[in-house]
Structure 1
């Protein structure tokens, strides 16, 4: 199935529905939720998924797992998606919180094939076997640290959201502490309690995650490094590899589809 709303087919009596959708550049899906669990795969482009708990950036050839009944908003940068909508009973192992994952070559091929299956595929046969293999592969995906958790504390959340709009790797914790009228030590404790991360680690991850969308939009690494406050492109690349284990090129050239995919 391609370019149809999931609401039109959500009640079909099949464990997995597969839909391919092409979105206009910088398209935004307003806050919504699904009854089924969703595997949202970026065949091209980069997505940003936001919930009350945080934000997840999904580069090309990766996917995000979205639990059932999770209100979320999605910003698309040059995106074509392949989505799986899974009956909750068919995936009791599905994570309770959004998660960005690497996608194996096998699962990628299955995702691309699934969108061309009949919506009410026979319960026994080739397509049903493919669906069983998809569910098996989904259980063994490698998580990627591409989430930026957001605090529930209103004052700290405002600061975090402002930072995400204009990240700076050298933004000092003292500025945040002053804005909240607390000491830097108190800020550190608050940050860890609210996000599960230290201020420094959260700041670094936020900068690197932000860079993925900018690179997808064609911003050169040299300009991006300067905008984020890194001393030079090499320093940015080193930080990128420290967070994600691979250089920026691994996230800008992988998994691009041809016109017939």
Structure 2
């Protein structure tokens, strides 16, 4: 019975998602904002929209995937998704997302690539206000939407994207690393699995992903650590599981990638 109810709930969510997409396409205003809630493990199937999407993770962690790569969106972060880009969304925990769908004509330079950004206090307050019922007759809705659009365009990028190679053999190695991440990634071992020299492998990896293997490994480590840290796990446990020799080494890497040490990052996200 429990499984039947869960299946029914998933079916209702899928139907609601289709209805939301129709409403987004039918919207006439420059910025159309709506809230959404999804249970842990829910998968939003491949879809796209003619508007640019700014999606804020108010609670929970989302993972967005497309041909451009994969992006982690932890609490207090948001994601820009270009118009027309086919993507999927996976919920890593119960998720509350607030989305603003922006007509490309309302942007001087509409994004063409996916970007993760840190959300400021003002942006957070504005997106919350934007998805609440607003009296269009008072003009307040226009003021909120205009200020929201101005603020979100100023938000700083965060390196939470993880480019994946198109080569199937290399992609398999990358997926294997994501399943069992380690700070002790040995290039020679990976090169040997693809029957390449170390030099040929490093060139091939950069060509396929646009970044070095070292940078990719660090991004993958942050990618893996963020939902665990956001869920309350200790820095020590996460650092040791990822194969770091010490908490200090992990903290140094995290600070270099994210601009703050793990504890500070999650205690005061509005500062970053």
> Compared with structure 1, are the counterparts of its residues 24 and 250 closer, same or farther at alpha carbon in structure 2 (3 Å cutoff)?
farther
Which residue of the other structure, out of 23, 40, 55, is the alignment partner of 2:38? 23
The TM-score, its normalising length taken from structure 2, stands at 0.86
**2:60 counterpart (45, 61, 82):** 45
Confirm or deny that 1:82 pairs with 2:98: yes
Structure 1 residue 8 displacement after superposition: 4.2
| Offset at residue 186 of structure 1 (A) | 0.6
8 Å Cα contact 1:60/1:251 also seen in 2:
no
Q: What residue ranges of structure 2 are gaps of 5+ in the alignment? A: 1-12
Rounded to whole Å, the distance in 2 between the matches of 1:188 and 1:246 is 29
Counterpart-to-counterpart distance in 2, 1:157 and 1:223: 28
**What TM-score comes out, normalization by structure 1 length?**
0.89
Specify which structure has the higher proportion of helix. Answer: 2
CA distance in 2, matches of 1:138, 1:228: 33
Shift in Å, 1:13 = 1.2
**In the alignment, what sits opposite 1:174?**
188
Q: Deviations over 1:41-80 (max 9, x none)?
A: 0111222111112111112111000011111122222321
Aligned pair partner of 1:35 in 50, 69, 78: 50
Worse-superposed segment, 21-30 or 101-110: 21-30
Structure-2 separation of matches of 1:125 and 1:233: 52
Q: What runs of 5+ residues in structure 1 fail to find an aligned partner?
A: 257-261
Equivalences for residues 200-215 of structure 1 within 5 A = 200-215=214-229
Q: Equivalent residues in 2 for 1:213-228 (5 A)?
A: 213-228=227-242
Shift of 1:255: 6.0
| Counterpart position of 2:109 | 93
Query: What is the RMSD computed on CA atoms of the aligned residues?
Result: 2.0
Distance 1:121 1:254 in 2: 34
Which of the pair has the greater relative contact order for Cα pairs under 8 Å at 6+ separation? 1
Per-residue deviation, 1:144: 0.8
Aligned length: 252
| Cα distance per residue 1:78-97 (max 9 Å; x no partner) | 32111111112112422201
Counterpart check, 1:12 vs 2:27: yes
